[in-house]
């Protein structure tokens, strides 16, 4: 293998995740995990991610096809969609904090109700059990029944059966008992690390460590095993050192391969697209800092409420804020450096906006 350069890693990062469009299930299996986000600006993050990787994809296709596919909503490094077979790596899941006796009693009532009546909408549970309101993580209040449903889902006692206008509808589920031997736990931890490495490679060393720490969200009961597996992974993964940073990627892949030549399309990416999700890697590869500012007060925003990173060839050169208005698609752009002036870029950008228009027509 020739000496790996940052240009190699940049092209490799783009090519390995922006694979030729395929079916929805195959795309999710190849990605391993698709992060979800409820904001629509102009569409949900999961739809914005999948539109580049699924043939003829339209906004809302994931939600409408969900019940017919072997996929699940669940937690990995954050919340999203993943192939059903990955659940065995994390379930039965043990939460970091046990419920108190009162919460356990209420959760048992909710679970019994779902088992009797499911699939159920949170509103239906609330009308029957009337748990009232609770404080949420943002200082406001939320529905207590919804919180209990979410907690039972996280603990593997419920699954998302479908969505009703974006709201999760739950049904009871039972996961098969897991082999709890030391060897089996170590194997599951190693498989989880392989899953996130193959999704987000190439990874700077600090990002690899951070991702493994985030696996404590999806598999908190395997934290000791994932830390041990991380040490082994650092030895088994391919790696190189560039400008003081160590990079890792799967040992069976070659970042210097000529097959990683960039295409000529412009792409507007979701803020949580695997290509741009890791902000540390983003800055190392493209030499500028991108921020997600939906929760930043408007006067302090630099990029916009829901700025979509703008990819051209193998460079993320700027961002766009896109609004799907009644009069058609409206887009405003910003650039990290000089805006490309050549006709090829303008034509490619027009093509991407046309693709975005067609994608949003499915809403």
Per residue of the chain (363 residues), what is the pLDDT tens digit? 679 999 999 999 999 999 999 999 999 999 999 999 999 999 999 999 999 999 999 999 999 999 999 999 999 999 999 999 999 999 999 898 999 999 999 999 999 999 999 899 999 998 888 655 555 554 444 578 889 999 999 999 999 999 998 899 999 999 988 899 999 999 999 999 999 999 999 999 999 999 999 999 999 999 999 999 999 999 999 999 999 999 999 999 999 998 888 889 999 999 999 999 999 999 999 999 999 999 999 999 999 999 999 999 999 999 999 998 887 899 999 999 999 999 999 999 999 999 999 999 865
Domain spans of the chain, in order of start: 27-89, 101-172, 262-360
Which is nearest to 315 in space by CA: 6, 49, 30, 1? 6
Residue 304 phi, psi (nearest 5): 130, 170
Question: How is the beta sheet containing 238-242 ordered, strand by strand?
Answer: 203-204, 245-249, 238-242
Q: How many CB atoms lie within 10 A of CB 12?
A: 23
Fold of 101-172: Arc Repressor Mutant, subunit A (1.10.10)
Q: Are 42 and 321 in contact (CB under 8 A)?
A: no
Q: How many CB atoms lie within 10 A of CB 354?
A: 11
How far, in Å, are 48, 62, 85, 88, 219 from residue 35 at the CA level? 10, 12, 17, 19, 16
Cα 180 from Cα 194, distance rounded (Å): 20
What pTM did the predictor assign? 0.93
User: What are the counts of helices (DSSP H) followed by strands (DSSP E) for the chain?
Assistant: 12, 14
Residue 171 phi, psi (nearest 5): -140, 160
Q: How many CB atoms lie within 10 A of CB 106?
A: 18
């Amino acid at each position: 293998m020739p000496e790996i350069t940052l240009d190699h890693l940049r092209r490799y990062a783009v090519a390995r995740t922006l694979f030729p469009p395929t079916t929805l299930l195959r795309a999710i299996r190849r990605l391993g995990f698709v992060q979800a986000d409820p904001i629509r600006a102009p569409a949900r993050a999961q739809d914005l991610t999948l539109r580049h990787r699924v043939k003829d994809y339209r906004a809302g296709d994931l939600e409408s096809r969900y019940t017919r596919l072997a996929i699940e909503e669940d937690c990995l490094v954050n919340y999203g969609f993943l192939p059903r077979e990955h659940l065995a790596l994390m379930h039965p899941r043990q939460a970091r904090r046990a419920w108190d006796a009162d919460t356990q009693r209420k959760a048992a009532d909710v679970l019994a109700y779902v088992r009797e009546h499911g699939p159920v909408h949170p509103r239906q549970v609330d009308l029957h059990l009337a748990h009232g309101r609770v404080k949420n993580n943002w200082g406001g209040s939320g529905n207590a029944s919804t919180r209990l449903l979410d907690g039972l889902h996280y603990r593997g006692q419920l699954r998302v059966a479908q969505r009703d206008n974006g709201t999760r509808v739950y049904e009871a589920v039972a996961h098969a008992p897991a082999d709890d031997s030391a060897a089996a736990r170590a194997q599951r931890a190693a498989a989880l690390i392989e899953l996130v490495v193959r999704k987000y490679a190439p990874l700077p060393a600090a990002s690899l460590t951070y991702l493994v720490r985030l696996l404590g969200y999806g598999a908190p009961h395997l934290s000791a095993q994932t830390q041990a597996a991380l040490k082994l992974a650092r030895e088994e993964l391919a790696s190189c050192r560039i400008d003081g940073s160590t990079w890792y990627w799967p040992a069976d892949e070659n970042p210097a391969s000529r097959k990683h030549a960039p295409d000529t399309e412009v792409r507007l990416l979701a803020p949580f697209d695997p290509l741009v999700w890791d902000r540390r890697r983003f800055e190392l590869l493209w030499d500028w800092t991108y921020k997600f500012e939906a929760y930043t007060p408007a006067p302090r925003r630099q990029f916009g409420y829901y700025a979509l990173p703008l990819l051209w060839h193998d460079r993320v050169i700027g961002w766009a804020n896109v609004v799907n208005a009644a009069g058609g698609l409206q887009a405003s752009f910003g650039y990290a450096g000089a805006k490309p002036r050549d006709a090829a870029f303008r034509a490619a950008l027009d093509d991407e906006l046309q693709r975005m228009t067609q994608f949003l027509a499915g809403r």
